[in-house]
Amino acid sequence: MEKILVLDFGGQYDQLIARRVRDMHVYAEIKAYNKITVDGIKTAGYSGIIFTGGPNSVYDEASPHFDPQILDIGIPVLGICYGDQLMAYMANGEVGSAEDNSEYGKTTVFTADVPLFKNIPRESICWMSHTDFIETLPHGFKCIAHTAKCPVAAMCDEKRRLYGVQFHPEVTHTEYGKQMLENFLFDICGCNGDWKMDDFIERSVEKYRAELAGKKVLLALSGGVDSSVAAVLMHRAVGNNLTCVFVDHGLLRKGEGDFVENTFGKNFGLNLVRVNAEERFLQKLAGVTEPERKRKIIGEEFIRVFEDEAKKLGKINVLVQGTIYPDVVESGKGDSAVIKSHHNVGGLPDVIAFDEIAEPLRELFKDEVREVGARLGIPHELVWRQPFPGPGLAVRIIGDITKEKLDILREADAIFREEIANAHLEKSANQYFAVLTDLRSVGVKGDARTYGYTVALRSVTTDDFMTAEWTRLPYEVLEWASGRITNEVSGITRVVYDITSKPPATVEWE
């Protein structure tokens, strides 16, 4: 099978690059620069190599470097940003650093007529993020693009099929980035583009069948798309050795616990254990208001509950989690900043009583996970469910969490979801829910004064949940939801709609 190696030098975009390549139906495999050798690359049979960006400067002693022999294997290489500079450095070019040359954001680039820039206008917009730049081209390379500030915005040694670009073709802000990657994959590397998501399923099933043979596997099933897809995928690989544990932590949406039990236990025939742990979680969370502490407590308690269940089930070797790529990035991968600790990544305690953790979806984006789910035969309404965070309503109640607040929020949230469904807006709004703010305000009901909570409604439209737009919901839908919530849910006097996109806000309020 043809495949591309994405050699990771610590940038933020390794998965995005791999994903772009997969979108073009070529399999992409990511390896950290220090986890593979030149010999390893030779024997793996890659059709091409992409060097990712990274936060370092090639001259820092501690910065990630690679064996320069990689440039002589005969496999085409595309270096991006730091990867471009590193390629120049390895081939004895010179990299300089000057504030005057730094560029950030959309930049006009002038490109030459070379295979990498086939079918691209000679002047276009690219996305830059750099201070270092290539000052002297390495021997055998020529300059194939420049910007106002960057004399070598791209270079190549056409004979050896080595290309480097200072900008980021993988981000959508680079107008013709997709075309450039296509040119690299199909024209320069000679790929055919016949890889499909089915191949990912097949490879994962084979891999886990071999690796986890004879082992007892426990999966944390939340009922969300990610863990559901992970469950069905793992079930294919290890069959009845898989037990799914569904922790009802009391922080779920209305009716969720029964839905999960019925869908997976009854319809899918998975070994499913439902643990009612509401009291345990509420005790741990009592009085806690700080969002990161809530997340850590819930993450840790999850694991403790699993451990307890595992003990009851006998020796369990492997814990499976439905972690997907955006969870990994936002919990602080490598040098990227921690935005919030997703309960199934940053919230993990250091010591847990399982030998291994398996995360079969760790490299996929949400829409890819859905595609895997559909191909696994999971029903449409489940695959297209809106996501629900592991810490549940705890991160949708601002301030401390009590059973009373949870019940109020559950009702308000159920009404909002019902109104979105009534208006057939489930597709345009990718995630929609209610948040119980910590703010109380005065209202009037009958002729009496009321003093109750303010509920915020949130709805976002997004592809990948890394960025999101607030949904332009029709006023009528908001009006109906607001009217019903204030009438049907006691304890709420006011409803507001959140009109913040991500960034600067996040989707969840905590």
DSSP letter for each residue of 362-413: TT--HHHHHHHHHHTT--HHHHTPPP--TTGGGGGB-S---HHHHHHHHHHH
CB nearer to ligand XMP: give 463 or 488.
463
Mark whether 126 is an active-site residue: no
Q: Is 139 among the catalytic positions?
A: no
Q: Which residues in this chain contact ligand XMP in the complex, by CB under 6 A?
A: 295, 327, 330, 340, 342-344, 387, 389-391, 431, 465, 502, 506-508
Cβ proximity of 243 and 220 under 8 Å:
no
**Least spacing, CB of residue 330 vs ligand XMP, in Å:** 5
* Residue 74: CB minimum distance to ligand XMP, A: 42
Q: Which of 168, 235, 249, 342 is catalytic?
A: 168
What is the rounded CA–CA span in Å between residue 337 and residue 271?
Answer: 38
Least CB distance to ligand XMP at residue 250 (A): 16
Separation between Cα atoms, residue 199 and residue 372, nearest integer Å: 10
Least distance to ligand XMP from the beta carbon of 428, Å? Answer: 16
Q: Active-site residue 249, yes or no?
A: no
Smallest gap from residue 502 Cβ to ligand XMP (A): 5
Buried b (16+ CB within 10 A) or exposed e, 445-469: eeeeebebbbbbbbbbbbebbbebe
CB 86 within 8 A of CB 58: yes
Indicate which residue of 2, 81, 235, 510 is catalytic: 81
Q: Which of 2, 126, 130, 170 is catalytic?
A: 170
Q: Between residues 277 and 460, which has the closer beta carbon with respect to ligand XMP? A: 460
Q: Which residues of 245-269 are buried (b: 16+ CB within 10 A; e: fewer)?
A: bbbbbbbbbbebbeebbebbbeebe
Q: For 295-319, b where at least 16 C-beta lie within 10 A, e where not — what string? A: bbbbbbbbbbbbbebbeeeeebbbb
Indicate the residue among 137 and 429 with the shorter CB distance to ligand XMP: 429
Q: What is the CA radius of gyration of the chain?
A: 25
Residues with active-site annotation: 81, 168, 170
